[in-house]
Amino acid sequence: MITIVTIEREYGSGGSEIAQGVAKQLGWKLWDQLLTEEIARLAKCPEEVVRGREERTDPLYARLFKSFLRGSYEGSLNAYRLGVVDSESILKLTERVVRHVSEAGSAVIVGRGSQHFLRDRPDVLRLFLYAPREAKVQRLAVGGTTKEEAEQLVDTVDRERADYIRRYFHVDLPDRPVYHAMINTVVGDEKVVRLILDLVRNLNAAA
């Protein structure tokens, strides 16, 4: 019985919009922005701090600073007091929230490595959404981003997400064996939503 849908996505492929549509049609809770808010609450830091670190590895200067804190006696004593929010701490909180959400069920979870945290659960449908580069650039441009900015975002955000998955889950993005389906969103958001709903219903009917 499918009670959770995880949606990993390429940037600009419409993952957030499609996830919203799926959650609305199923009457399930959408964990996308809400996931960021909950992590920020647990980390006791502003949402923009979490947004800037989730699905990313720490930059070199941050890793060096963290190594200094760990290697320094005074630094280790003050690390907690400094409230350093890095990618690893965000990752741990993300896993905590995702696993808690999965226990409640009836949820659509967007990215953040959720497909890997929940890869062994039989009640989770794991999906990957992608699109041709030009389609992703065009979608972002329609939303008000310039073509040059859209091209840069498509390349850099996907690269950052791939680095994140590789560093913390030791696989390449997309890790094909973990997904039940990979869908090209160029066919249209509504069709992709219907396809996902059909998958959920058919799997549940066969359960």
CATH number assigned to the domain comprising residue 42:
3.40.50.300
Q: Which of 104-108, 141-145, 171-175 has the lowest mean pLDDT?
A: 141-145
pLDDT greater than 80 at residue 200: yes
% of the chain at pLDDT higher than 70: 87
Query: How many domains would you assign to the chain?
Result: 1
Quick one: average pLDDT of 52-60? Answer: 74
Q: How confident is the model at residue 84 (pLDDT cuts 50, 70, 90)?
A: low
Entry pTM: 0.86
pLDDT greater than 70 at residue 134: yes
Q: How confident is the model at residue 190 (pLDDT cuts 50, 70, 90)?
A: very high
**Residue showing tokens 């200067």:** 61
Quick one: average pLDDT of 33-52? Answer: 91
Residue 98 neighbours by CB under 8 Å, 6+ apart: 31, 35, 109, 112, 113, 114, 117, 118
pLDDT at 63: 45
Rounded Cα distance between 96 and 200, Å, is: 25
Q: Output the average pLDDT for the chain.
A: 88
pLDDT greater than 90 at residue 100: yes
Q: How confident is the model at residue 70 (pLDDT cuts 50, 70, 90)?
A: very low
Q: Structural domain of residue 154, as residue ranges?
A: 4-206
* Six-digit token string for 202: 């058919």
Cβ contact 23:142 at 8 Å = no
Cβ contact 196:18 at 8 Å = yes
pLDDT greater than 70 at residue 64: no
Cα 132 off chain centre by:
20
Q: How confident is the model at residue 144 (pLDDT cuts 50, 70, 90)?
A: confident
What is the phi/psi pair of residue 180, to 5°? -80, -30
* Six-digit token string for 185: 């969103």
CB atoms inside a 10 Å sphere around CB 52: 12
Q: How confident is the model at residue 86 (pLDDT cuts 50, 70, 90)?
A: confident
pLDDT greater than 50 at residue 154: yes
